[in-house]
């Protein structure tokens, strides 16, 4: 089952799982993502028996699909389901109440098939559709898509969007989902749910009529137990044509239910704009002093010796000056190598210095400007230490890596420059040295992202200098001087600086001053 985990772009106030309908896939939710990720960690799932090309067993039941969802979903989340996905969300709320904080359905009917006192699709019309699907799945699904777009202001545009979202041709894997639509009847189930419920119907829906609103509202004892709202000028394809309405009503509903409590959020590490500016300025001098970076990168290249297959697309993440581009191109001559860095100045320098036509991008590792499932191999040497939201980083790696892909990386751990940190601590309590995340925090972040496996190893690298000033000058030339938000403002006094230099002397061995780098080697594999 294909999934994506997309951490919030702002302060995460809630976990949100999105469930699509029959004949669709997780791509239907793309217009909604930018509108909800400001407050939600989002899990996207291609549902078995609902998404084309997702393999299922011969007798797949809703319980099987729900077990698959729970295996990749957060321990507790708000579930937002469209069409059949809404019915599955209701089933999940009933059978696993501890895992579901609230339920929101969009264009969903607790009983899809009409009854004497219940609006829905006619039983005969649905049976004819089932028979048509068994004969010609592709033609039947095209007809179904046309029905979904009816009532929209621009139906042809929506149909073209649907075509671009399709991941593969439909087949027998969707037959169980049709059977679920035929028999699910949750009219007695939904009034007893303990979780807050919001049901959004579309004004011009041809499959789940807006006339359902009064009878659906009649299931609930009071408006406090559930809300029913109508999306104006919307069709059954509301996730595509009414994403803003869905996002606004969802946010308002969850806030009123007390489920959007802001968590304590403190930006750690340096601001990304400061990192980009510093390394852009250092581009011209970087390679002349990057001894550690080059040595560590060569060690990392050795991890590529057992790459299982020739990658078609290789991402050099945090490529800097492009120093390792020639080696990557030589190792993978049949692949496309992309150099990506946060610092525009580094990309400009690399584009000018690296021979041959290249593929260069300015971008943030925590928000990669790359398509989902577009990269086979990521190489990243001493770059991601500037990412202080590791869950976001690993979620992006999981998103862009194809199944079976991998990322090899190095980063710096918290014991980096321990001698310099100790020397400064002897003279004041301010932060003079950049802080980096421990391997335990990286491992915990990766464990929260479904679909990946992380392995880590720590190695110590010790550089030596005759004077502390050599180390400080090198850090400045690299662009890696102190950039933390808590760094001292203004110039350091001569007395304080002299005290730090004197304290550093206690580390001198055989006439040389050590500078230790806590280097973490890691490998992320998609599973």
83 noted as active-site residue: yes
Query: What is the four-CA torsion angle of 32, 35, 37, 43, rounded to 10 degrees?
Result: -10
Give me the DSSP letters along 31-65: HHHHHHTTTEEEEEE--TTTSTT----TT--HHHH
Of the listed 199, 236, 388, 432, which one is catalytic?
A: 236
Catalytic pick among 2, 83, 235, 380 = 83
Specify the DSSP element, H or E, that contains 359.
Answer: strand 359-362
Q: How far apart are CA 234 and CA 206, in angstroms?
A: 10
Whether 205 is catalytic is: yes
CA–CA separation, 45 and 25 (whole Å): 8
Sign of CA dihedral 294, 296, 297, 299: positive
Distance CA 114, CA 120 (A): 4
Annotated active-site residue in 46, 205, 241, 316: 205
- Which two three-digit tokens encode residue 435? 């802080």
| Three-state secondary structure readout of 461-519 | EEEEECCHHHHHHHHHHHCCCCCCCCCCCCCCCHHHHHHHHHHHHHHCECCEEEEEEEE
Give catalytic status of residue 236 as yes or no.
yes
- Owner of token pair 């009649």: 218
The sign one gets for the Cα dihedral 495, 497, 500, 504 is: negative
CA distance 68 to 448: 16
Q: Which residues are catalytic?
A: 83, 205, 236
């Amino acid at each position: 089952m294909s999934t994506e985990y997309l951490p919030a772009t702002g302060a995460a106030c809630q976990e949100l799982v999105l469930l699509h309908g029959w004949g669709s896939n997780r791509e239907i939710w793309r217009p909604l993502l930018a509108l909800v990720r400001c407050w939600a960690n989002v899990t996207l799932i291609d549902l078995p028996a609902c998404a084309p090309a997702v393999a299922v067993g011969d007798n797949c039941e809703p319980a099987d699909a729900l077990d698959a969802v729970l295996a990749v979903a957060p321990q507790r989340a708000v579930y937002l389901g469209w069409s059949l996905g809404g019915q599955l969300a209701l089933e999940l709320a009933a059978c696993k109440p501890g895992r579901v904080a609230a339920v929101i359905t969009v264009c969903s009917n607790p009983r899809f098939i009409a009854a004497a006192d219940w609006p829905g699709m006619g039983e005969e019309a649905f049976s004819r559709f089932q028979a048509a699907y068994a004969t010609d799945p592709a033609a039947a699904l095209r007809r179904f898509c046309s029905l979904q777009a009816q009532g929209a202001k621009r139906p042809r545009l929506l149909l073209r969007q649907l075509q671009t979202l399709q991941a593969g041709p439909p087949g027998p894997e969707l037959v169980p989902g049709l059977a679920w639509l035929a028999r699910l009847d949750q009219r007695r189930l939904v009034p007893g749910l303990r979780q807050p419920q919001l049901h959004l119907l579309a004004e011009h829906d041809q499959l789940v009529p807006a006339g359902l609103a009064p009878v659906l509202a009649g299931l609930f004892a009071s408006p406090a137990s559930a809300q029913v709202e109508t999306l104006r000028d919307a069709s059954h394809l509301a996730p595509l044509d009414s994403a803003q309405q869905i996002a606004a009503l969802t946010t308002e509903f969850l806030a009123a239910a007390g489920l959007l409590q802001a968590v304590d959020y403190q930006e750690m590490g340096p601001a990304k704009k400061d990192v980009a500016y510093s390394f852009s300025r250092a581009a011209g001098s970087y390679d002349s002093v990057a001894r550690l970076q080059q040595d560590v990168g060569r060690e990392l290249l050795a991890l590529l010796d057992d790459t299982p297959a020739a990658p078609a697309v290789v991402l050099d993440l945090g490529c800097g000056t492009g120093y390792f581009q020639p080696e990557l191109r030589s190792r993978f001559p049949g692949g496309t190598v992309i150099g990506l860095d946060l610092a525009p100045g580094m990309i400009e320098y690399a584009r000018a210095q690296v021979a041959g036509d290249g593929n260069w991008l300015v971008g943030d590792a925590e928000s990669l400007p790359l398509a989902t499932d577009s990269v086979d191999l990521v190489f990243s040497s001493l770059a991601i230490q500037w990412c202080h939201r590791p869950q976001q980083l690993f979620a992006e790696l999981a998103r862009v890596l194809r199944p079976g892909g991998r990322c090899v990386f190095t980063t710096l751990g918290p014991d980096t420059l321990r001698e310099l940190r100790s020397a400064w601590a002897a003279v004041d309590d301010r932060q003079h040295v950049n802080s980096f995340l421990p391997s335990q925090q990286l491992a915990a972040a990766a464990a929260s992202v479904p679909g990946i496996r992380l392995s880590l190893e720590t190695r110590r690298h010790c550089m030596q200098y005759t004077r502390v000033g050599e180390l400080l000058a090198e850090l400045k030339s690299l662009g890696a001087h102190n950039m933390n938000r808590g760094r001292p403002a203004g110039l350091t006094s001569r007395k304080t600086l002299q005290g730090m230099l004197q304290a550093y002397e206690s580390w001198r061995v055989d006439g040389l001053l050590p500078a230790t780098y806590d280097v973490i080697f890691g490998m992320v594999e998609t599973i």
